[in-house]
Structure 1
Amino acid sequence: MQTQRETTAEAEARAHSDTAGQPIAEIARFLQETFSQRVAALIAGVEDPRQVGRWARGQNAPRFDSEFRLRTAYQVFTYIANCENQHTARAWMMGMNPQLEDDSPIEAIADERFKDVMAAARSFRRGDL
């Protein structure tokens, strides 16, 4: 029998491994399809949403800070989806979160509050919220 901590650790490890193995074009495409091009641009910190489409098509690559934000959003989404499902992960990423001062995880990632978002995801997994 596995403990909840082991299950959580496995979900985190899978999310990390999946994120590290994905080309940035695939991550941009996934976030664009899951949330919209405009929301993916917000996550990435770019003003022109069309830039996300160019990344998704592999026409060019994002700057380091934009790629970091996209990879963070993808990893957190994947972690929640591994623990629950994709519908729950999408709703969790978009919804107000009391641990994030009622910002959504998407807004918190856009504000570079990466560790806060992952802590909120772990709390959600544990059932603290």
Structure 2
Amino acid sequence: MSIPVPASQPGHRAYADSVRLDTGGIVTGLREILGARLVAYLGRVSNTRSVREWAEGSRAPGADVVQRLRTSYYVAGILIECESAKTIQAWFQGMNPELDDQSPAALLRGGPLDEIGPKVISAARSFAAHG
């Protein structure tokens, strides 16, 4: 159950959901926005079968991957408030000037999450606010 959040607080619902949802819910939501291939990339696996198994709950990713997926869900949730899934997919995969021309997906997949997460979240907020 989502708690109502005033429209003046973009991203708060996405954050709340990213904390409250179980791994299956996070993966399902990400798969709906980003597609299974991009979720597999973010989750550091080479096939979409793993993504399906995570969504179903028949297999669980490691703790580090879960945190990366939660952060990715939060970022996607910020963007889905004002953009289409296709635009969000392109944003995740494209070079981003606010991230030294690196893609958010590559950073979220491989970088140290405590450093990269806030930078990607900030870039998502900026994109949502200014395009």
Identity %: 33
Q: Give the gaps of 5 or more residues in structure 1.
A: 1-5
Provide the rounded CA distance (Å) in 1 between the counterparts of 2:31 and 2:125: 24
> 1:35 and 1:122, CA in 2 relative to 1: closer, same or farther beyond 3 A?
closer
AA aligned opposite 1:16? Y
Q: Does 1:50 align with 2:53?
A: no
AA aligned opposite 2:118? K
Deviation at 1:105, TM superposition (A): 1.4
Provide the rounded CA distance (Å) in 2 between the counterparts of 1:44 and 1:19: 15
Structure with higher helix content: 1
Displacement over 4 Å in runs of 4+ = none
Query: Partner residue of 1:100?
Result: 99
CA contact (8 A) 1:28 1:70 kept: yes
Deviation at 1:70, TM superposition (A): 0.6
Query: Partner residue of 2:120?
Result: 117
CA contact (8 A) 2:24 2:57 kept: yes
Query: Partner residue of 1:40?
Result: 39
Provide the rounded CA distance (Å) in 1 between the counterparts of 2:21 and 2:44: 20
Provide the rounded CA distance (Å) in 2 between the counterparts of 1:103 and 1:52: 24
AA aligned opposite 1:120? A
Deviation at 1:28, TM superposition (A): 1.3
TM-score (norm: length of structure 2): 0.77
3-state SS in 2 of match to 1:62: coil
CA contact (8 A) 2:96 2:103 kept: yes
2:84 to 83, 86, 93: 86
> 1:13 and 1:34, CA in 2 relative to 1: closer, same or farther beyond 3 A?
closer
Deviates more, 1:62-71 or 1:22-31: 22-31
* Pairs aligned (count): 120
Deviation at 1:48, TM superposition (A): 4.3
Provide the rounded CA distance (Å) in 2 between the counterparts of 1:121 and 1:33: 18
Q: Does 1:25 align with 2:28?
A: no
CA contact (8 A) 1:27 1:74 kept: yes
AA aligned opposite 1:100? L
CA contact (8 A) 1:72 1:114 kept: yes
Q: Give the gaps of 5 or more residues in structure 2.
A: 1-6
CA RMSD of aligned residues (A): 2.1
